[in-house]
A and B are shown apart, each in its own frame.
Chain A
Amino acid sequence: MNYQELGLKAGIEIHQQLDTAEKLFCRCPTLLRDTAERSGEFHRYLRATESELGEIDRAAREEMRLVRKFCYYTYDTVCLVEHDEEPPTPMNPEALEVCLTIAKMLGMTPVEQVHTMRKLVIDGSNTSGFQRTALVALSGSLPDGCLIETICLEEEAAQRVEDEIFSLDRLGIPLIEITTAPCMHTPEAVQQVAGHIGMVLRSTGRVKRGLGTIRQDVNVSIADGARVEIKGVQELDLIAEVVRREVERQVGLLAIRDALRERGARVDHTVVDVTALFSGTASAILKKAKSILAVRLYGFAGLVGREIQPGRRLGSEMSDYAKKCGVGGIFHTDELPAYGVTADEVACLREFVGAGENDAVVIVAATRQRAGCAAEQVMIRAEMALSGVPEETRKMLEEGSTAYMRPLPGAARMYPETDVFEVEIDAARWERIVVPELLTDRAERFVREFGLDETLARQVAFSERLPMFEKAVAAGVRPTTAARTLLATCRELARDGVAVGRVSEDELLALLSAVEAGRAAKEAIPDLITELARTAGGDGAPLDRVDAAIEKMAPAVSEADVEAIVRRIVAEREAFAREKGMGALGPLMGIVMQEIRGSVDGKVVSETLRRELKRLLA
């Protein structure tokens, strides 16, 4: 596709959880729990509140189509604030500091006074019915010239367990939201910008890492299309694909619009009750439905079933809208006969509702009320197809296709959080913020200062073990040894089933220092880590435990001992040595090293062996 010609405009919002000790508006730890550990649960309803003009926000209104009872799982690491049973605490200063640090790294300007707002969210993910959010800084820039519009500090929502059940452990974890301008024009550019911002965030060393801790929302539009917000893209690698597929979808919808207009298509707003037609049906879904309603879409035949994204049709969009009313989905004539509905029944349906060959019929089966609501939603979406691409919020499905979630929220859904005082960001506070080194800069410095090769340097810089690496180097461990051990060795051991994660940071540091001090050879490191992992959880200070491991796996061998062993082995294989000459060095080296089990540095051993061989051959 020619994205320039299509007028692609994309922007992203990045949501990143911060790794603070406490949550944003309460003193609970930012700890995720297993739902099996829950200490209780409770139930609530949420209601949309009216604005001054008696309006309910359009996104909120849609969520309210169905009165929903929400269930919340609670834990001993959660308090009354998450329960919406106690007012929030003042804004967590640690979280604000991290947010300001990121703002400074992005060249942004802080607001003078931060006001916490309530953003209405009544999908159940916030017990209060709103998310607390505050605008902290404005207008930054990225290296490629793309602009950052805002950075906000907000509270993370509760995690959905299933349907209307939420887990409160995640609610309130500090989250920053970075919004870029719609300044990207290719799918790849979006992915690059997201990658760069992610790197900036990790450079602080104070953001959470792992699945779900960073989420990107992508805003996409093409010329003549509409702004569509795709929420919750967790994998960076999928971003470009999500953008490609959204462009494809908008192009597809525009083509459908043109075809509909050419045919003079229209939506009949009279819903027909066709329950009686299916009284003898073999379709399990239709058989048990109290009410079956049909919507007539004149001129829509063949288009409802047309694919607009891999695995998604216009019919899928209608189905998403209908599901808001609590129905399982819809049937449409482009996909029938199927699902137990026979060709006869379809013909009968068409005749009954007066649908011709060019027309499509959509049926919904549910209770009278739900089916009525769903039929209305189908008509709304069908009308939208006539005018093109609707503005909406969508969620990502596996592989990068998307499904409808709700209308784009209006700006009319924010009002002040009166329970939280404003926070001043004066010049002195802003000056105090120290900008950390970017991970990319750090990798370059590692190459320059430590002589690490580029790949390893980058690996170290981007690794979660970076702080440990820096500690080890500060303690005098050779950077290459530290880097290889913490990345390559540990990863290889883990792959072989060694519980490397059980070896504490202090033990690893003590071990590296011991190697550096010559108390064990580099070659013994894998054995020593394996031993430490095997005995993890046992008694003793880290240093003592490392000493014990060295004693067991690589007992100290003196220089005299090395010489004695080398002499004995050379003597035992005198004939071989004489035959091979200095060529015997390699094979004999292996035999010696095996005997001293990595207690001595290979270099020392090879020097001794070379000397001994020379003496023999002289």
Chain B
Amino acid sequence: MRYANGGTALTGTYITKRDGMAVVKLDSGYNIGTSPEKIELVGRPAPQPPAGAGVVVQNPDLPDLAIISTGGTIASRVDYRTGAVMSQFSANDILRAIPELGEIARYRDRQVASILSENMHPALWQELARAVYDEIRAGVSGVIITHGTDTMAYSAAALGFMLKTPVPVVFVGSQRSADRPSSDNAMNALCSAAVATGDLGEVAVLMHATTNDDRCAIHRATRVRKMHTSRRDAFQSMGMAPLGYVDYPALSVTLSDEAVRRGTGEPEIHDALEERCALLHFYPGMPSCVLDAFEGYAGLVISGTGLGHVATEWIPRIREMVADGTTIVMTSQCLHGRVCDRVYNTGRDLLSAGVIEGEDMLPEAALVKLMWVLGNEPDPEKAGVLMQTDLAGEIRRRSV
């Protein structure tokens, strides 16, 4: 393509048309937008040879790991000609992008979905749980799940409730896209492989511990939350210390006493979920008619104020809903701390209306748990008891 402007003619590659402008990559590498009439075709590029040639040979003496991708990419590649960023999913692609992974394990890859994590939904959690369960049954030493960061904590909690696993199941992602030289993807991926071949025996999330490239933190699936929109260390363990750390580049894993160890129990899957559950964030002045939208729902988690409150005005409607069979669980938008509806009158009224105190559960973990509990326990009373029972480390008996 030839581009003429201001007396000079330059050549480049036509990339696309966007909003009436032709996007052109000049030979210097710069893109510009120009009116289509300023460019003319001088030839067509020779077809590009197929990418990703070259098979990586894996070391058979190393432990087997399964990499299950959901659309979160730990490896991607840039086409410098067009500037497009390509996602990579196959173990081969991942190993070519992060060759050091090959020194830790052998990998088999499996793609469950190819979505942005904001589009994640409960049916996919079930599919993901089954895929992980199959891999564990097939005898892998550990499972790595690559996942977008937006909803990673929800998915991790879901698998935390659905699966019993004797091997590590590690969610990992990156806050900086993998096409950047500064991406946290390689370090996170390497640390996740170190954990997946290590001594852990539960579902966990692994991400940067700080802004430094020196340490990753291992978080319990049901107590982790994304606490920042963009920082590498966005993921934090809430109300407890992380299950452990991985030092980089040494890749040495340290687990806390609390972390469940490899080989504890047999693999189990309970993948039923009741999807008619919701999470409601209360705010001052929020009308109680909002609750009407959840009429007929099996479960509702309220992210209330302080110790676990909503406006007094809401209580009659809540009483009706509970009577109609909706399980309502109270959590707190404070995130830190335990719900206690026995201190103030509003709380006592909520309890008498049938609201269940969500202890110190994170609102999102409580939502996922409610889906799981109601999916597996048809008796509302027993379901209520289960909501206040620690099933997967989501409830701490003591606040310390």
If A83-B211, A85-B230, A415-B80 are given as contacts, then 11 extra A-B residue pairs at C-beta distance below 8 Å, sorted by A number, are: A43-B212, A49-B178, A49-B181, A51-B78, A51-B80, A52-B78, A113-B21, A133-B30, A412-B81, A414-B29, A422-B21
Determine whether B6 belongs to the interface, using a CB cutoff of 8 Å to chain A. yes
Chain A residues in contact with chain B, CB under 8 A?
42-54, 57, 60, 67, 69, 80, 83-87, 108-109, 111-115, 117-120, 122, 127-130, 133-135, 137-139, 149-150, 152, 411-416, 418, 422, 424
Across the interface, do B83 and A138 meet the contact criterion of CB distance under 8 Å?
no
Distance in angstroms from B377 CB to nearest chain A CB is 43
**Given the interface contacts A80-B230, A83-B211, A85-B211, does A112 sit within 8 Å of B77 by beta carbon?**
no
B187 within 8 Å of A (CB atoms): yes
Given contacts A112-B33, A129-B182, contact A414 B232 (CB under 8 A): no
Cβ < 8 Å to A, chain B residues 235-270: 249
A416 touches B83 (CB 8 A): yes
Chain A nearest CB from B256 CB (Å) reads: 24
Q: Which of B28, B29, B32 contacts A113 (CB 8 A)?
A: B32
23 intermolecular pairs with C-beta atoms under 8 Å apart: A42-B210, A43-B213, A43-B214, A47-B183, A49-B179, A50-B96, A51-B78, A51-B79, A52-B81, A67-B249, A86-B229, A109-B6, A111-B34, A112-B21, A112-B35, A114-B33, A118-B180, A139-B6, A139-B8, A411-B27, A413-B80, A414-B30, A415-B83
Query: Chain B contacts of A114 at CB under 8 A?
Result: 32-33
Contact check, B8 vs A115: say whether CB atoms are below 8 A apart: no
Interface contact B5-A129, CB-CB below 8 Å: no
Q: How many angstroms between the C-alpha atoms of A51 and B97 in the bound complex?
A: 10
Contact with A along B53-97 (1 / 0, CB 8 A): 110000000000000000000000111111111100000000011
Residues of B within 8 A of A43 (CB): 212-214
Binds A, one of B44-52, B120-128, B139-147: B44-52
Chain B interfacial positions (CB closer than 8 Å to A): 5-8, 10, 21, 23, 26-35, 48-49, 51-54, 77-86, 96-97, 176, 178-183, 186-187, 210-214, 229-232, 249
Q: Which residues of A contact B213 (CB under 8 A)?
A: 43-45, 69
B179: which A residues are within 8 A, CB to CB? 49, 415
Task: Classify the interface of chain B: helix, strand, loop or mixed.
Answer: loop
Nearest B residue to A41, CB-CB: B212
Partner of A115, one of B32, B180, B186: B32
User: Which 6 pairs from chain A and chain B are nearest by CB?
Assistant: A129-B181, A113-B33, A109-B6, A414-B29, A52-B79, A139-B8
- Contact call B30/A46, Cβ cutoff below 8 A: no
**A49-B77, A50-B96 known; A44-B230 Cβ under 8 A:** no
Q: How far does the alpha carbon of A83 sit from the alpha carbon of B176 in the complex, in Å?
A: 12
CA A273 to CA B229, docked complex, whole Å: 54
Chain B residues lying within 8 Å of A69, measured Cβ to Cβ, are 213
Contact (Cβ within 8 A) A44 B182: yes
B10 touches A138 (CB 8 A): yes
Q: Given the complex of chains A and B, what is the CA–CA distance between A319 and B34 in angstroms? A: 47
Q: A85-B232, A130-B181 are in contact. Are A53 and B32 (CB under 8 A)?
A: no
Report the Cα distance A553→B34, complex, angstroms: 66
- Which residues does chain B contribute within 8 Å of A120, judged by CB atoms? 181
Q: Which residues of A contact B78 (CB under 8 A)?
A: 49-52, 415
Count chain A CB atoms within 10 A of each CB in B6, B32, B33, B181 and give the residue with the most. B181
Q: Is the CB of B27 within 8 A of A44?
A: no
The CA-CA distance from A113 to B35 in the complex, in Å, is: 9
Q: Report chain A residues within 8 Å CB of B28.
A: 135, 150, 411
Q: How far is the CA of A108 from the CA of B6 in the complex (A)?
A: 7
* A64 to B: closest C-beta gap in Å: 9
Q: Please, which residues of chain B bring their CB within 8 A of the CB of A139?
A: 5-8
